[in-house]
Structure 1
C-alpha cells in the first residue's frame, strides 16, 4: 500500500497542475488608476470685489472646499486676484442640522445644515473675508448648506463672527458676477 501511495505521488508530481511553464512576457504598462479632479468655485477678491475662480480639489467635501479657498488666496489662480484670508487658517468645519419646531412628532422636520467654519489667526476678519468663506460654501453646497457660521478660535478668546448667507454680501460682487443665495 505504501508503494502504491508513493507511486501515485510521483505520477501526480510529474503531471503537475496542467499549466505549461512559459517565458516572462511584457504585456505593456501596468494598470494605473487615473485621477480626475473635481472642480469647485472659490471666491477671491479683485479690487475688493468678489470674483469666482475655478480650482481642482480632491473631493467636494466642505473641508476640502474651505482648505482650497485658503490655499488659493496664497497662490491665486489668476493674476490680480487676492484674498482677505491670508492672515488666517482654516482649523476645522462642522455641520449641524437645522430642524423645524412646528410639531414635536414631525419626524420629517429636518430642513438643512449650517456649516460652522472654525478659523485661527490674529486680528479681526474683514467683511470681505467673511463673504469669501460664506459665498464659496454656498456656491458649492447650495442644496445642503443653508448658512455659514464663522468662529475664530485663537489666539485669545474664541469669538463667534455670526451666521451668514451669501445674499447679505451681494453688494461686494464684482461687476457681472452673480452670487449664490
Structure 2
C-alpha cells in the first residue's frame, strides 16, 4: 500500500513537471485599447489641456508652503498672502473652465472633461483654505494648532491635497484624449 502511494505521488510530481501547457487564466485585452474612458471629439482640446497643465504647475508650487508652530506673525501673514495668490490662480483656471463649458455647451466631452479638471482645482482650493484656517488658528494661539502634526488641522489639508493629486493621476493614466 505504501509503495502504491509513493508511486502515485511520484507520478503526480513527474506529470506536473513534464507538462508545459498548463492552462492559466489570462485576460483578453488588446494592447491598443485604452484603460479608461476615451474622450473623443473635444472641440477645445488645447484649452482644456492648457488648464490642466496650469493646475499641475500651481500644484508643483504648493510644495513650498512652510507653516510651523514657531512661525512669527509676519511669516504667517506672508504665507497667507502666498496661499491667497494660489487660490486666485486656481480661480482663474476655474473661470476658464466655466467659460469653456459655456462656449462648448453642446459638446458633452468638453463639459465632462472640464468638470473633471474643475474637481481637481476645487480640491486644491479646499486644501489651501484649510491651510489658511491653520494659519488663523496659529495667529489666535490655538493650543490644538500648535501640535501641528498631531492636530486635527492637517488631516483635511492632506486629504484634499491628495484627492486632487489622485484625480490628476487618474486623468493622466486612464483618460485617452483624441
What TM-score do you get using the length of structure 2 for normalisation?
0.25
Q: Which has the higher contact order (CA 8 A, sep 6+)?
A: 2
Structure with the higher strand share, 1 or 2:
1
Greater C-alpha Rg: 1
Higher helix share: 2
